């Protein structure tokens, strides 16, 4: 059997070498399908399927999927009996001032036991130890591998050296491995979360996120049951009233699911799309093999006459198919390597675990399985059909009248119908995503993004703790930036829309429902005078902030129209009073401004309890003046020269203050839709690939049909058939197959596109305009694919055609 198998391989390789055109087309078609599938599977494998790179990752969980105060984190650690709880803070920027040029680093604070809980050790030095949460012992830091290389050139003697962060000296005690990226790929340095004696600062910052490891023998359900009893107990310990049932909707969730769960629909949708492309590629190659088998009928008949059985013939032909599949798999892997680079660049940079995506052994196993399945899938039916040869009729030269020819045509037609149906499904999906993206890009933001640049300016915390808390510094920066030629207006803000906003709990005067048991939540922005003008946010009533709205002056706020309508429906909001729910003094509403979209162009679904925006003067802040701010500049001149001038101005006011995250508002807006845009781009790419392969398939079938029916067409022309009759005969046959396929495809699309509903904005899965557009496009392309061989039929000489047999 092995000798026979080797003979089949040698003979198959010779036959493929003798037909280089057929071989090249078949291999390239399969390579495109396999390469696309391998690239997308690498993405799915690296992001969704591969276990997290920690010890026993299936035991790791996340809790309380929103930020909590430090006090709540400590309470969870103390009270839980089913989990070992640890935690970290949201990664934030911190100024490094001990390396010459001021530098902005991304820092995460963690509980000292986090690294032990994850089961990760330092590459150099050590991780944090118990007791280093004490402020007296907390001046220690751990570097990421990348920061160690960048600052110290991989110097192994770095342990024990000192850095100055935010004016405070910290000692380097460890360097983490190159692959460690918790909690974010951007994290460059870790500091311990500190716990001051007397509980000072335990409830001031809601920026802590708890994670945990299930204790031995504890199930996820048991941990979740305990957690549900702990949450209400811990919320009651908050020093101010919280909304009713606050955080009771949170659960214990496997860490991997919490990190990448939102990507499942998108990635599996893309995997399904390339799977359909693969089916179309297989159908195309199967049709090529059917066409080729018709040309080899006499060869197969001779071999059968010499004693080869049907199984032997089918085995030989199937071996050739597997050779084609193997060649396509090898070339597909090469294409996947390049495609993976393009995929990573197309996806948003903050996609979780994107850096871990690679072509590993799982991908190779996946491709090997695809090669085997596709080789059998596209080769089995043609091989079996070709092996059912009628020796007598074939050797007499009358194969075109045999049942084999009719059977081949039926199978070929079925493949074309399948291709057309699959094309419709992919094109409808691409059309829905395109329409969704178009509508998303035309949603009003509530402000103007053109000719606006933003930059983060971050003085050291130690500097801002002195005097007026950096108010004079920021005022001087704003004054000098406003004097730059080409600058129309300038303002400062703690943040800008689409770059993050913070929800603040408010109490409303004379509204008990918004005072204690259920505080009102609003997105907060701390801004200087001039922000409304700079961003083009309309002032609808009252006044803007003034320079006199400083610390010590009566507290004032601006509210959005949505908030005013919610809090004081049908009433004048000016002069009303609100305040952050935990502070003493009321603040007066002095203006009403237009609504803006805070996070993204998608409807705000992050927190259904947030109803509008509140703006506070930067000098008054929520509880104190801001200590970091974004310059927001509207300019009429060249943006590059404005950016260069910004850096010079800030350095001139104070040389140790870094300026970072320099972006235009158009760039910020574009980044907010990078996820939908990348999904749409990839889906459209796969749909176009499917469309190309499908049209080639229709053309090849119609073209071969014309060559088979040469004599019939000659007879029709000889007895008086007109050109229009021949066109109807050829085009009608091809369009009939395409029409049947489109009908099946529309039904399939109506069922399958419901799976992508969560990715659509302003478009229903069954959108009549999209479906009609796809049918029209495919009809035109199918008509063209049929018309080209039809024109060849029109040029047939009846005399030559009648002699073709």
Residue 634 has pLDDT above 80, yes or no: yes
Give pLDDT, residue 275. 92
Q: Is residue 51 within 8 Å of 256, Cβ to Cβ?
A: yes
Q: How confident is the model at residue 440 (pLDDT cuts 50, 70, 90)?
A: confident
Q: Cα–Cα distance between 791 and 266 in angstroms, integer?
A: 44
Mean pLDDT computed over 700-726:
73
Going by pLDDT thresholds of 50, 70 and 90, the confidence category of residue 606 is very low
Nearest-angstrom CA–CA distance, 681 and 687: 10
**How would residue 758 be classed by pLDDT, with cut points 50, 70 and 90?**
confident
Average pLDDT over residues 127-146: 91
Mean pLDDT of 337-362: 87
Give 303 or 109, the one with higher predicted confidence: 109
Residue 506 β-bridge partners: 520, 580
Q: Are strands 60-62 and 253-254 parallel, antiparallel or unpaired?
A: antiparallel
Residue 801 pLDDT: 56
**Is 627 in contact with 459 (CB distance < 8 Å)?**
yes
pLDDT of res. 761 = 86
- The closest alpha carbon to 550, from 463, 616, 460, belongs to 616
Average pLDDT over residues 637-666: 86
Report pLDDT for 660.
Answer: 86
Q: Strand 520-527 and strand 92-96: pairing?
A: unpaired
289-332, pLDDT tens digit by residue?
777 766 566 666 666 666 666 666 677 778 888 899 999 999 99
Instruction: Tell me the CB-side half-sphere exposure of residue 576, using CA atoms within 13 A.
Output: 20
- pLDDT of 188 > 90? The answer is yes
pLDDT of residue 300: 66
Going by C-alpha positions, the residue among 375, 377, 376, 381 that lies closest to residue 293 is 381
Cα–Cα distance, 641 to 359 (Å, whole number):
43
pLDDT at 264 over 70: yes
DSSP string, 24-60: HHHHHHHHHHHHHHHHHHHHHIIIIISPPSSSSGGGE
- Give tens-digit pLDDT for 530-555: 999 999 999 999 999 998 998 889 99
The per-type count for the chain, helices as H runs and strands as E runs, is 24, 22
Band (pLDDT 50/70/90 cuts) for residue 160 is very high
Out of 370-374, 521-525, 744-748, the most confident range is 744-748
Q: What is the rounded CA–CA span in Å between residue 265 and residue 679?
A: 11
176 neighbors 134 (Cβ within 8 angstroms): no
Asked if residues 182 and 91 have their Cβ atoms less than 8 Å apart, the reply is no
What is the C-alpha to C-alpha distance for residues 784 and 273, in angstroms, rounded to an integer?
A: 25
Residue bearing the bigger pLDDT, 577 or 697:
577
Q: Is 674 left (phi over 0), alpha (psi -120 to 50) or beta?
A: alpha
Per DSSP, helices labelled H in 388-487 are 391-395, 403-441, 461-464, 471-482
Return the SS3 of 558.
strand
Residue 753, C-beta contacts closer than 8 angstroms, at least 6 positions apart = 425, 428, 429, 432, 765, 766
Provide mean pLDDT across the span 656-673.
Answer: 87
pLDDT at 399 over 70: no
Q: What is the pTM of this model?
A: 0.82
Distance CA 157, CA 373 (A): 54
**Residue-averaged pLDDT of the chain:** 85
In degrees to the nearest 10, what's the CA dihedral of 786, 789, 795, 799?
-110
């Amino acid at each position: 059997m092995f000798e026979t198998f080797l003979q089949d391989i040698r003979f198959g390789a010779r036959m493929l070498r003798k037909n280089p055109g057929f071989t090249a087309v078949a291999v390239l078609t399969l390579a495109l399908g396999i390469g696309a599938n391998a690239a997308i599977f690498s993405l799915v494998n690296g992001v969704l399927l591969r276990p997290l790179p920690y010890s026993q990752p299936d035991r790791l969980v996340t809790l309380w999927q929103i930020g909590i105060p430090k006090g709540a984190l400590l309470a969870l650690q103390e009270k839980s009996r089913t989990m070992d709880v640890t935690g970290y803070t949201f990664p934030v920027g911190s100024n490094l001032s001990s390396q010459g040029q001021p530098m902005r680093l991304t820092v995460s604070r963690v509980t000292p036991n986090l690294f032990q809980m994850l089961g990760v050790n330092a590459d150099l030095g050590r991780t944090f130890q118990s007791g280093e949460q004490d402020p007296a012992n907390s001046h220690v830091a751990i570097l990421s591998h990348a920061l160690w290389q960048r600052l110290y050139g991989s110097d192994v003697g770095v342990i024990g050296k000192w850095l100055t962060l935010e004016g405070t000296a910290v000692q380097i005690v460890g360097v983490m491995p190159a692959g460690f990226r918790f909690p974010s790929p951007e994290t460059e340095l870790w500091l311990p979360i500190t716990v001051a004696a007397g509980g000072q600062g335990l409830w001031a910052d809601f920026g802590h996120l708890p994670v945990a490891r299930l204790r031995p023998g504890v199930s996820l359900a048991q941990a979740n049951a305990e957690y549900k009893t702990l949450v209400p107990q811990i919320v009651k310990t908050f020093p101010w009233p919280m909304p009713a049932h606050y955080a009771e909707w949170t659960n214990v969730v496997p860490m991997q699911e919490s990190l990448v769960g939102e990507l499942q629909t998108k990635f599996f949708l893309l995997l399904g799309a390339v799977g359909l492309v693969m089916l179309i590629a297989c159908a195309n190659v199967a049709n090529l093999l059917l066409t080729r088998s018709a040309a080899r009928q006499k060869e197969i008949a001779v071999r059968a006459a010499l004693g080869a059985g049907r199984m032997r013939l089918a085995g030989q032909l199937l071996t050739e198919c597997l050779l084609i599949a193997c060649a396509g798999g090898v070339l597909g892997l090469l294409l996947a390597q390049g495609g993976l680079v393009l995929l990573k660049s197309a996806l948003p940079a903050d996609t979780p675990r994107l850096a871990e995506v690679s072509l590993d052994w799982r991908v190779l196993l996946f491709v090997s399985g695809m090669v085997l399945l596709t080789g059998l899938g596209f080769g089995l039916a043609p091989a079996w059909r070709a092996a059912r040869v009628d020796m007598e009729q074939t050797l007499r030269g009358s194969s075109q009248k045999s049942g084999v020819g009719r059977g081949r045509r039926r199978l070929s037609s079925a493949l074309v119908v399948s291709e057309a149906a699959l094309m419709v499904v992919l094109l409808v999906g691409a059309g829905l995503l395109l329409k969704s993206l178009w509508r998303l890009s035309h949603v009003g933001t509530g402000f103007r993004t053109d000719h606006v640049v933003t930059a983060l300016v971050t003085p050291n915390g130690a500097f801002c703790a002195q005097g007026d808390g950096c108010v004079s510094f920021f005022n001087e920066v704003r004054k000098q930036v406003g004097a730059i030629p080409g600058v129309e207006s300038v303002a400062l803000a703690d943040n800008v829309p689409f770059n993050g906003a913070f929800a603040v709990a408010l109490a409303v005067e004379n509204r008990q429902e918004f005072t204690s048991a259920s505080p009102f939540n609003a997105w907060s922005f701390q801004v200087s005078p001039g922000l409304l003008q700079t961003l083009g946010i309309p002032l609808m009533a009252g006044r803007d902030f003034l320079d006199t709205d400083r610390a010590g002056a009566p507290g004032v706020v601006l509210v959005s129209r949505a908030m005013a309508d919610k809090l004081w429906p049908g009433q004048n909001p000016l002069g009303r009073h609100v305040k952050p729910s935990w502070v003493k003094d009321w603040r007066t509403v002095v203006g009403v401004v237009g609504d803006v979209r805070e996070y993204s162009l998608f409807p705000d679904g992050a927190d259904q309890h947030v109803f509008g925006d509140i703006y506070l003067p930067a000098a008054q802040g929520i509880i104190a003046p801001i200590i970091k701010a974004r310059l927001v500049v509207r300019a009429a001149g060249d943006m590059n020269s404005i950016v260069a001038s910004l850096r010079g101005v800030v350095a001139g006011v104070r040389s140790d203050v870094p300026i970072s995250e320099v972006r235009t508002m158009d760039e910020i807006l574009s980044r907010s839709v990078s996820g939908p845009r990348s999904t749409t781009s990839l889906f459209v790419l796969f749909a176009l690939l499917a469309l190309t392969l499908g049209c080639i398939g229709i053309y090849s079938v119609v073209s071969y049909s014309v060559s088979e029916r040469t004599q019939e067409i000659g007879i029709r022309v000889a007895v008086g058939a007109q050109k229009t009759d021949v066109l109807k005969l050829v085009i009608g046959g091809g369009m009939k197959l395409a029409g049947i396929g489109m009908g099946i495809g529309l039904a399939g699309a109506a069922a399958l596109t419901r799976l992508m509903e969560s990715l659509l904005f302003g478009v229903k899965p069954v959108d009549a305009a999209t479906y009609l557009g796809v049918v029209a496009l495919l009809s035109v392309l199918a008509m063209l694919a049929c018309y080209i061989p039809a024109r060849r039929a029109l040029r047939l000489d009846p005399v030559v055609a009648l002699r073709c047999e």
